């Protein structure tokens, strides 16, 4: 008996279908990605290794920098290159700005309407006009910074395998830092107002284990170690021992389990695992085990990213720029895994390089990792709203379910980068 | 045409002729076209030296003289053959086959592409604007280099062209 | 006194007449033929009437007219004239009976001869060879036999063989014409002012000078005369605008450039009746208040320039040009300017620029009537327009307005050339249908051929297909049919003409003649030409048609002057009416009319070929060789230049042209 | 003063002025190429065409104003005329953007081409890297010379070689000149085709493009001229 079905979940990146049904007494949720497969891993196969970042950054326009940085780090590890401190910091700074920008867009335009009781964006203005205008200003400022230092908002072109492709000028770095300084106050204001509006519903996380990247320096910088909520920590290169991927038939995207159980990644996971790397993420008292709290943490991360990126950029401007190493013309042999904290959570790029070419590629995106966890939370949410087999109020259940999915901020184009689709459409 | 353009004895060099012609028209920029016409009627074309002298006389840059010399169809800058065969490219003549005649003549005289004069310098083949006697289409006019001899043929066919060539070769032999 | 000392109409009849260049008599012109006016003397009167009769009918009624216009000379009129002069003495006909005249416009008869003996009908002989002259003259003057004539003036019943020779008025080619402005062509001796005045010349000027300039403009306005150069701009309006300009110095220019290939109306008028054009120019100068006039003639038409120059010199000699013309205090002089031959000079601003130096058109407005030659107000009128002005001033505006439609008045001269039996220049009232002009007057296409289209207006005009032949000829209806009135050049095309090739021909003409100043015309026409060449070589594609249409449209809209503005007309009108031919070239790679050389092949039919080898001998490109095995001859398609010599040469016509 | 209606707005301009002054006063921009104030106003480039109420297209830089003159600067016919004039100019332009002094943002033709959707200008025209900085001069297989410009801030200006994402230039003479440029800097056809394969391999005209590139390189290697 079908309890709830949303054919086309709105206000998410890409096409998604959600279905919850009761199957002989047991509630089951299905996270069906109906977005067309994009075979990114196949495209990369056989290309020269220095072209990987160009393909990877085109997986999705929202967080193209995260994919760009992750794929570059993966290829660098495969070829045994070290881009140097300066370049690593530069990449972190750019990544943080993109995280802030992504969170902004998600909170202000995709998630907020649920919490202000309006349907679409147009009437959002009447309810949260000031917040929308401020977030738009902030969004433009972030995009200006990204364009200034990454070359372009989408498909950046200042970074390359082995470091920067061109000697950076001190001017743009300082200018970027100024832009960020101007909108620090704005960021705080946006976050405070968002937090007042975000009254998240109650929900207990059924499988509260999560994964995140241990930062090299401060919170949200990339690193070479992955932490799990079970206290485990492993090297990215042997991610396969802990995270195994499977392909549900009903969805175009794969699903990931951490040693068998559903796992979630994203702001909530980061906050839980990396709290001691934090300085001042002033998060109000919330129940971390509630999946909806992911929104709260995302909101809090915005001002943090803006300030942190500003500081890194100012520091970079002062230090003498070392633009990294030139990649070997005829490539090399090796295998590398690059990880990064994308706005929506842990992102893993894994490439095998032989000679000049890529022979094998595997990408795991945050939405893939969250897939099973979303199903678990949806199941828990439905059970809490259903008594003796029938939903108390069908409309409310459906609304709550879509709010839950939006809390994870799934990015479907990234999720369907898979090489082979074995699943069939659910009958 | 003769009364309009007083002919000047031809043995002088192009430069000297240009000097006289410029003086004749009072070195006025207005009469540039007339001067060029007089020079061309003497030599059949505009020698480079004459153009340079004209430019000096009129105190205008050589490029300006060349602009006029190259714009108008009447003027030639290279030395034409003894006889210049002009095929009329008016509409009626084109329709009646002068286009084919032109191809025939160039191949018959073996004129290399890009040039309009035969290698032995006897004949030049040119396309001319409409002579205005369309009832005789297709029309061909044969003019001597100095313009003293002018003969027009109507209803021209490749066979007739061969006779014209032969006729003028004989005329040239007689003259030499 | 005439230059040979004998008395002529222009000289004073007796002591009482005080006319001189310094103190010209106002009635000088009317007095030439209707005089003497200031005194009554029978001797002076008979002196004039005798002279007029001598001019009109020749010495005691004997007259031999020989046409000396460029085209008749080209057709051999000079040799005929020499032959006539020799024969005349032996026949005892007074030598001054021979009169050289202009051209009547019946080009298909060139060179013609007109004989008149007292009591005999005047007889017109066509395509006269110098050798035949003696026979013709003897037959006419001695045996009074007109049987060999092409036409006679009227039936007197006296001449033998009159019955089977048609009179001129019976022939369609003459009957349907209204020779309003070309009345003197082929009648007067173009190089004698006396002739012109004897036939009523300069009456228009005389009448105009008696009126005020405004009245002259009013008269032209009432007549409804519109410019004959092609645009059809009302002449009075141009004059009025120029007259109202404050500047002291003004000019009038006769546009005798006539660059259209296949158009020679202006040359015919100027070579046959130059004084009429000059008279129109002086009237225009008077009406507008100009001080100087120019006649801008093309270098390729030297005889035309010569005759106009002679007319100017004669008019100056008799006080009709220069200071205080006919005692009216109006000073006006004329200079003939020779252009070096550029089609763009037909455009008024380019013509002005050509006089000032290099011929490139200028953006209008300001129109030349306001800012023209050397910055002064200038009126530019076509040769035929001014000839009409002179005639309508002499005859009164009603005579002009009697013809034509309510929107375009009067008559227009057209040169009908191409695949017609009777090529020539004919003057018909505006509004006559194309069918009358092409089929009735010009005799339609030759036997065994079908009429396909009529091209009007030269490179700026369009092609009117056969089924629109009933379109009346006037400015508006021609524009609707996709053509323009233009200068009046009409080229008739039968089924041997390929419309794509015609469009390409006109575009190649425009590409050569474009002055290159503005981008659309300079580059656009070249693109049109290259695309059309591609199509004629069988390499065309369907979107080439779109390129033709879109580029054509932009060249028409965006070009600076009328040359570029009308350049795409031939292409657009052939595309509109003959799209199937374009498709045949593109899709089946075939030229239905067998014109486009790249698409047709010459092949020798082996069973007909007898192996004589004449074709190989005559082939200019050496493309025919003997196939040793079969003994027959074969054409090598690469070398063949498709000139068609082999088809005509082959004794057994074994050569076949495959489309 | 004379009343002129520009796109519906009324403007007053002194007598004898041209439409261009009226447009400037009304604040409506019109592209001009050959207009240089009093030095040259011959209206030969026809870029500044505007449409009058009677449908005629007239050049704004030389057409005098008259009272009650109605002018429209952005009608379909005007746009088509301008667009085609830009194409005309481009068709006769000898395209060598990589060695052109106006590259890197001050190419007037590129501005007009992008404004009027005309394709055909290589990326090099908007890339600021000169001489030694140019990636091809450094030996990198950057596709700038044979890729259509139109991306506002191209990758080369930030150091990464152009990978041809806006599609290939198809004009033969440009390909030949580009081949000459590649060969003289030691870039082989193999590298160029490899980079190009990512975005261009699926294009319908890829084979003919590849053939003309091979031909161009053969010609360039055989001691071509430039």
Residue A421 lies in a domain: no
Residues facing residue C116 across a β-bridge: C63
The pLDDT value recorded for residue A427 is 28
* A339 DSSP β-pair partners: A348
Interface test with B, best of C68, C72, C112, C261 (most B CBs within 10 A): C261
Q: Can you tell me the distance from the alpha carbon of A49 to that of A38, in angstroms, rounded to the nearest whole number?
A: 20
| Residue of C241, C353, C361, C363 to mutate when probing chain D, most D C-beta within 10 A | C363
Torsion-angle region of A409 (φ positive above 0: left; ψ -120 to 50: alpha; else: beta): left
Distance between CA atoms of residues C111 and C67, nearest Å: 7
Both tokens of C622, joined, read: 């050496």
Say yes or no for a CB contact (<8 Å) between A158 and D159: yes
Structural domains of chain B, ranges and CATH numbers in brackets: 14-71 (no CATH), 83-175 (3.40.30.10)
CA distance A61 to A89: 23
Closest residue, chain C, to D91 (C-alpha): C523
Q: Which regions in chain D score pLDDT beneath 70?
A: 153, 223-226
Nearest CB among C262, C419, C512 relative to B90 is that of C262
CB nearest to D44's CB, from C517, C550, C554: C517
Q: What is the pLDDT of residue A425?
A: 35
| More confident of the two residues C394 and C22 | C394
pLDDT at C254: 92
Q: Do D153 and A51 touch (CB under 8 A)?
A: no
Q: Is residue A36 part of a domain?
A: yes
D88 → closest Cβ in C365, C366, C524? C524
Question: Does some domain include residue A192?
Answer: yes
Q: Chain B contacts of C506, Cβ < 8 Å? A: 91
Contacts of D44 in chain C (CB under 8 A): 517-519, 560
* pTM score of the predicted model: 0.83
pLDDT given for residue A426 in this prediction: 32
**Closest to C283 (Cα-Cα) out of C336, C321, C311, C228:** C321
Strands C292-298 and C251-256 turn out to be parallel
Which of D46, D57, D91 has the CB atom closest to C527's CB atom?
D91
Beta-carbon neighbour count of residue B139 at 10 Å? Answer: 28
Cβ proximity of A37 and A21 under 8 Å: no
State the smallest CA–CA distance between residue B48 and chain C in angstroms.
19
**Shortest CA distance to C199 belongs to which of C186, C185, C209, C184?**
C184
User: How is A46-108 classified by DSSP, letter by letter?
Assistant: TSBGGGHHHHHTTS-STTHHHHHHHHHHHHHHHHT----HHHHHHHHHHHHHHHHHHHHHIII
- Say whether B83 sits in a helix, a strand or coil: strand
pLDDT tens digits for range D54-76: 999 999 999 999 999 999 999 99
Band the pLDDT of C499: cuts 50, 70, 90: very high
- Average pLDDT of chain B? 85
Instruction: Give the count of alpha carbons within 13 A of C322, CB side only.
Output: 13
- pLDDT, residue C166, reads 87
- Give the SS3 label for residue C408: coil
What mean pLDDT do residues C36-52 have? 86
Distance from CA of C221 to the nearest CA of D (A): 25
Q: Is residue A110 part of a domain?
A: yes
C340: part of which helix (H) or strand (E)?
none
Work out the average pLDDT over C586-591.
91
- CA of B74 vs chain C CAs: smallest distance (Å): 6
Q: What is the mean pLDDT of chain A?
A: 85
Beta carbons within 8 Å of A426's beta carbon, 6+ residues apart: A19, A30, A32, A249, A250
Q: Are residues C551 and D84, on separate chains, in Cβ contact within 8 Å?
A: yes
All domains of chain C in start order, with CATH: 59-170 (3.40.30.10), 193-401 (3.40.50.11540), 411-497 (3.10.20.600), 500-586 (1.20.1440.230), 600-658 (3.30.70.20)
CATH number at residue A14: 1.10.645.10
A303 inside domain: yes
Query: What are C380's strand-pairing partners?
Result: C253
- Nearest Cα of chain D lies from the Cα of C365 at a distance, in angstroms, of 7
Question: Which residue in chain A is spatially nearest to D155 when comparing CA positions?
Answer: A157
Measured between CB atoms, which of B32, B91, B104 is closest to C620? B104
Residue C428 phi, psi dihedral angles, 5° rounding = -130, 150
Interface contact flag, A54 D159, Cβ < 8 Å: no
Could you say which of A48, A158, A165 has the minimum Cβ distance to residue D194? Answer: A48
**Nearest-Cα residue of chain B relative to residue C345:** B72
Q: Under DSSP, is residue C603 helix (H, G, I), strand (E, B) or coil?
A: strand
Q: Assess if residue A423 is contained within a domain.
A: no
The H or E element that residue C254 is part of is strand C251-256
* Cis amide leading into C501 (omega within 30): no
* Beta-carbon contacts of residue C139 (< 8 Å; ≥ 6 apart): C145, C147, C148
How many residue pairs bridge chain B and chain C with CB atoms within 8 Å of each other? 164
What is the pLDDT, as a whole number, of residue A389? 62
Question: A256: which residues sit within 8 A by CB, 6+ positions away?
Answer: A243, A244, A245, A246, A263, A364, A368, A369, A371, A372
- pLDDT at position C142 is 86
pLDDT tens digits, residue range C294-343? 999 887 788 899 999 999 999 998 889 988 888 888 999 999 988 877 78
CA angle centred on C393, ends C387 and C396, rounded to 5°: 125
CB atoms under 10 Å from CB of A248, counted, come to 19
Q: Do D89 and C523 touch (CB under 8 A)?
A: yes
Q: Answer yes or no: do C365 and D92 touch at CB < 8 A.
A: no
Domain assignment of residue A381, given as a range: 2-415
Sorted by where each starts, the structural domains of chain D and their CATH numbers stand as 2-82 (3.10.20.740), 94-221 (no CATH)
CA atoms within 13 A on the CB side of A74: 32
C124, C113 Cβ separation under 8 angstroms? yes
Question: How far apart are the C-alpha atoms of A193 and A174, rounded to whole Å?
Answer: 29
Verify whether the Cβ–Cβ distance A51 to D195 is below 8 Å: yes
Q: D153 vs A166: CB contact, 8 Å cut-off?
A: no
Instruction: Please answer yes or no on whether B94 and C515 come within 8 Å at the CB atom.
Output: no
Measured distance CA(D135)–CA(D142) in Å, rounded: 6
- pLDDT for position A418: 67
Contact residues on chain D for A48, CB-CB shorter than 8 A: 194
Counting the structural domains of chain A, the total is: 1
- Which A residues, 163 through 182, put their C-beta within 8 Å of a C-beta on chain D? 164-166
Q: List all residues 6 or more positions away from B106 whose beta carbon is below 8 Å from its beta carbon.
A: B125
Q: What 8-state DSSP symbol labels residue D157? A: G
Q: Residue C172, SS3?
A: helix
Note the pLDDT tens digit of each residue in A160-194: 888 888 777 788 888 999 999 988 888 888 888 88
CA atoms of C148 and C160, how far apart (whole Å): 11
Q: How far is B158 from chain C (nearest CA, A)?
A: 6
Tell whether D208 lies on the interface with A, counting CB pairs under 8 A: no
**Which of the given ranges, B86-100, C454-468, D82-96, has the highest pLDDT on average?**
D82-96
Q: Do C520 and D46 touch (CB under 8 A)?
A: yes
Q: Are chains C and A in contact at 3+ CB pairs closer than 8 Å?
A: no
Query: To the nearest whole number, what is the mean pLDDT of chain C?
Result: 88
Check whether C163 has a pLDDT greater than 50: yes
By DSSP bridging, strand C113-116 and strand B83-88 are unpaired
Verify whether the Cβ–Cβ distance C559 to D91 is below 8 Å: no
Across C189-218, average pLDDT: 92
- Cα–Cα distances in Å, from C628 out to B175, C123, C181, C606, C618? 45, 62, 67, 13, 19
Q: Which of D153, D158, D198 sits opposite A51 (nearest CB)?
A: D198
In this complex, do B37 and C260 lie within 8 Å of one another by their Cβ atoms?
no
CB contact under 8 A, D198 and A54: yes
Look at residue A356 and tell me if it is in a domain. yes
Is residue B1 predicted with pLDDT exceeding 60? Answer: no
Q: Do A147 and D160 touch (CB under 8 A)?
A: no
CA-CA distance, D138 to C81, in Å (whole number)? 83
Q: Hey, are the CB atoms on D159 and A51 less than 8 Å from each other? A: no
Residue A401, domain member (yes or no):
yes
Token pair of A190, please?
């946006």
Q: Are D192 and D141 in contact (CB under 8 A)?
A: yes
Which partners does chain C have (≥3 C-beta pairs < 8 Å)?
B, D
Give whichever of C31-45, C544-558, D121-135 has the largest mean pLDDT: C544-558
State yes or no: pLDDT of C11 exceeds 70.
Answer: yes
Long-range contact pairs involving A125-133 (C-beta distance under 8 Å, separation at least 24): A128/A193, A128/A197, A130/A193, A131/A190, A131/A193, A131/A194, A131/A197, A132/A108
Which segments of chain A have a pLDDT < 50?
422-427
* Partner-chain contact D88 C553, CB within 8 Å: no
Give A13's DSSP letter. B
Residues of D in contact with C567 (CB under 8 A): none
Contacts (Cβ under 8 Å, ≥6 apart) of C510: C459, C521, C525, C529, C563, C567
- Considering CB atoms only, which of C71, C358, C497 is closest to B95? C497
Average pLDDT over residues C16-22: 84
């Amino acid at each position: 008996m079908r309890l709830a079905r949303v054919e086309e979940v709105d206000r998410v990146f890409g096409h998604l279908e959600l279905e919850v049904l009761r199957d002989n007494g047991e509630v089951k949720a299905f996270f069906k990605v109906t977005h067309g497969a994009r075979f990114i891993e196949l495209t990369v196969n056989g290309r020269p290794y220095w072209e990987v970042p160009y393909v990877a950054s085109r997986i999705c326009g929202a967080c193209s920098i995260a994919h760009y940085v992750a794929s570059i780090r993966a290829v660098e590890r495969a070829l045994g290159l070290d881009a140097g401190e300066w370049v690593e910091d530069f990449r972190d700074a750019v990544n943080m700005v993109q995280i802030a920008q992504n969170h902004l867009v998600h909170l202000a335009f995709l998630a907020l309407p649920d919490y202000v009781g309006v349907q679409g964006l147009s009437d959002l203005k009447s309810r949260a006009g000031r917040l929308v205008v401020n977030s738009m200003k902030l969004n433009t400022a972030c995009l200006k910074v990204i364009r200034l230092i990454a070359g372009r908002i989408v498909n950046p072109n200042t970074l390359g395998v082995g470091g920067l492709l061109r000697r950076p000028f001190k001017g743009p770095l300082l200018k970027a830092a100024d832009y960020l300084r101007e909108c620090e106050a704005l960021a705080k204001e946006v976050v405070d107002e968002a937090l007042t509006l975000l009254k998240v519903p109650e929900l207990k996380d059924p499988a509260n284990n999560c994964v995140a990247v241990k930062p090299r320096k401060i919170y949200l910088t990339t690193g070479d170690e992955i932490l799990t909520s079970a206290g485990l920590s492993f090297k990215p290169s042997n991610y396969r021992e802990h995270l195994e991927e499977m392909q549900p038939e009903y969805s175009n995207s794969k699903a990931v389990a951490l040693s068998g159980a559903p796992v979630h990644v994203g702001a909530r996971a980061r906050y839980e695992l990396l709290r001691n790397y934090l300085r001042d993420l002033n998060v109000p008292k919330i129940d971390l085990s509630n999946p909806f709290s992911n929104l709260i943490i995302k909101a809090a991360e915005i001002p943090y990213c803006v300030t942190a990126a500003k500081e890194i950029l100012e520091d970079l401007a002062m230090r003498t720029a070392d633009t990294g190493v030139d990649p070997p013309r005829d490539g090399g042999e090796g295998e590398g895994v690059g990880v990064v904290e994308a706005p929506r959570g842990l992102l893993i790029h894994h490439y095998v390089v032989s000679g000049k070419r890529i022979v094998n590629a595997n990408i795991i995106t945050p939405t893939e990792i969250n897939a099973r966890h979303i199903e678990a939370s949806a199941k828990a949410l439905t059970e809490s709203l259903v008594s003796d087999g029938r939903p108390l109020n069908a409309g409310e259940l459906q609304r709550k379910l879509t709010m839950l999915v939006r809390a994870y901020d799934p990015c479907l184009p990234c999720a369907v980068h898979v090489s082979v689709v074995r699943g069939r459409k659910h009958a | 045409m003769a009364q309009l353009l007083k002919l000047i004895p031809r043995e002088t060099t192009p430069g000297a002729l240009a000097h006289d012609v410029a003086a004749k028209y009072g070195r006025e920029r207005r009469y540039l076209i007339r001067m060029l016409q007089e020079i061309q009627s003497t030599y059949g074309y505009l020698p480079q030296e004459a153009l340079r002298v004209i430019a000096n006389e009129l105190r205008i840059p050589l490029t300006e003289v060349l602009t006029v010399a190259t714009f108008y169809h009447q003027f030639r800058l290279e030395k034409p053959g003894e006889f210049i065969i002009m095929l009329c490219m008016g509409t009626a003549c084109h329709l009646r086959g002068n286009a084919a005649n032109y191809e025939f003549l160039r191949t018959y005289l073996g004129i290399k592409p890009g040039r309009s004069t035969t290698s032995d310098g006897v004949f030049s083949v040119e396309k001319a604007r409409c002579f205005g006697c369309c009832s005789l289409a297709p029309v061909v006019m044969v003019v001597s280099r100095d313009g003293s001899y002018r003969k027009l043929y109507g209803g021209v066919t490749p066979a007739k062209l061969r006779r014209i060539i032969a006729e003028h070769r004989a005329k040239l032999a007689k003259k030499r | 006194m005439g230059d040979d000392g004998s008395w002529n109409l222009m000289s004073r009849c007796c002591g009482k007449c005080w006319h001189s260049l310094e103190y010209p008599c106002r009635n000088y012109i009317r007095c030439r033929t209707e005089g003497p006016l200031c005194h009554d003397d029978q001797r002076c009167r008979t002196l004039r009437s005798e002279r007029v009769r001598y001019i009109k009918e020749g010495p005691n009624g004997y007259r031999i007219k020989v046409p000396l216009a460029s085209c008749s000379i080209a057709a051999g009129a000079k040799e005929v004239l020499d032959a006539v002069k020799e024969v005349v003495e032996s026949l005892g006909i007074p030598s001054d009976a021979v009169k050289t005249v202009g051209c009547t416009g019946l080009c298909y008869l060139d060179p013609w001869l007109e004989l008149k003996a007292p009591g005999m009908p005047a007889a017109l002989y066509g395509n006269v060879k110098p050798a035949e002259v003696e026979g013709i003259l003897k037959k006419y003057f001695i045996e009074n036999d007109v049987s060999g004539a092409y036409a006679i003036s009227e039936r007197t019943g006296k001449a033998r063989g009159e019955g089977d020779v048609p009179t001129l008025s019976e022939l369609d080619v003459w009957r349907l014409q209204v020779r309003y402005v070309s009345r003197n062509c082929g009648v007067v001796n173009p190089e004698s002012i006396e002739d012109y005045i004897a036939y009523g010349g300069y009456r228009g000027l005389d009448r105009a000078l008696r009126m005020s300039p405004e009245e002259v403009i009013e008269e032209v306005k009432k007549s409804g005369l519109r410019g004959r150069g092609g645009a059809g701009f009302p002449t009075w309006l141009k004059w009025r605008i120029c007259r109202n300009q404050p500047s002291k110095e003004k000019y009038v220019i006769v546009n005798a450039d006539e660059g259209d290939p296949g158009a020679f109306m202006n040359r015919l008028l100027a070579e046959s009746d130059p004084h009429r054009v000059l008279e129109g120019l002086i009237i225009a100068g008077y009406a507008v208040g100009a001080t100087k006039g120019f006649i801008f003639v093309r270098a390729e038409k030297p005889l035309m320039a010569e005759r106009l120059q002679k007319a100017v010199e004669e008019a100056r000699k008799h006080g009709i040009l220069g200071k205080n013309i006919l005692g009216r205090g109006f000073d006006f002089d004329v200079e003939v300017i020779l252009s070096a031959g550029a089609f763009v000079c037909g455009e008024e601003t380019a013509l002005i620029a050509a006089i000032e130096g290099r011929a490139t058109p200028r953006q209008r407005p300001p129109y030349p009537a306001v800012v023209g030659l050397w910055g002064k107000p200038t009126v530019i009128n076509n040769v035929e327009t001014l000839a009409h002005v002179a005639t309508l001033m002499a005859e009164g505006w009603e005579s002009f307005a009697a013809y034509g439609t309510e929107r375009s008045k009067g008559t227009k001269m057209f040169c009908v050339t191409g695949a017609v039996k009777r090529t020539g220049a004919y003057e018909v009232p505006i509004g006559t249908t194309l069918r009358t002009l092409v089929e009735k007057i010009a005799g339609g296409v030759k036997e065994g051929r079908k009429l396909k289209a009529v091209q009007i207006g030269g490179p700026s005009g369009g092609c009117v297909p056969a089924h629109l032949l009933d379109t009346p000829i006037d400015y508006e209806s021609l524009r609707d049919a996709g053509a323009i009135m233009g200068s009046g050049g009409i080229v008739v095309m039968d089924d041997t003409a390929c419309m794509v090739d015609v469009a390409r021909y006109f575009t190649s003409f425009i590409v050569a003649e474009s002055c290159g100043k503005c981008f659309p015309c300079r580059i656009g026409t070249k693109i049109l030409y290259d695309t059309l060449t591609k199509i004629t070589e069988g390499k065309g594609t369907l979107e080439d048609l779109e390129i033709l249409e879109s580029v054509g449209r932009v060249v028409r809209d965006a070009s600076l002057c009328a040359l570029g503005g009308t350049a795409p007309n031939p292409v657009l009108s052939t595309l509109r009416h003959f799209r199937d031919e374009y498709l045949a070239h593109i899709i089946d790679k075939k030229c239905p009319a067998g014109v486009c050389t790249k698409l047709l092949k010459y092949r020798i039919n082996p069973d007909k070929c007898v192996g004589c080898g004449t074709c190989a001998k005559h082939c200019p490109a050496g493309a025919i060789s003997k196939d040793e095995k079969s003994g027959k001859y074969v054409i090598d398609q690469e070398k063949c230049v498709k000139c068609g010599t082999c088809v005509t040469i082959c004794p057994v016509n074994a050569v076949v042209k495959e489309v | 003063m004379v009343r002129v209606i520009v796109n519906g707005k009324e403007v007053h301009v002194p007598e004898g002025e041209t439409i261009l002054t009226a447009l400037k006063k009304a604040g409506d921009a019109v592209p001009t190429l050959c207009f240089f104030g009093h030095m040259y106003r011959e209206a030969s480039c026809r870029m500044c065409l505007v449409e009058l109420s009677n449908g005629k297209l007239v050049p704004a830089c030389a057409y005098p104003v008259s009272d009650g003159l109605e002018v429209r600067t952005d009608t379909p016919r005007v746009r088509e005329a301008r667009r085609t004039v830009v194409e005309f100019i481009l068709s006769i332009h000898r395209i060598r953007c990589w060695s052109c002094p106006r590259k890197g943002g001050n190419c007037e033709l590129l501005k007009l081409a992008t404004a009027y959707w005309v394709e055909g200008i290589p990326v090099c025209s908007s890339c600021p890297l000169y001489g030694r900085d140019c990636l091809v001069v450094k030996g990198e297989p950057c596709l700038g010379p044979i890729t259509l410009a139109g991306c506002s801030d191209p990758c080369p200006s930030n150091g990464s070689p152009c990978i041809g994402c806006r599609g290939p230039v198809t004009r033969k003479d440009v390909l030949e000149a580009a081949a000459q440029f590649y060969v003289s800097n030691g870039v082989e056809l193999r590298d160029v085709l490899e980079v190009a394969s990512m975005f261009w391999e699926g294009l319908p005209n890829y084979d003919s493009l590849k053939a003309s590139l091979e031909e161009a390189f053969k010609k360039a290697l055989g001691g071509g001229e430039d």
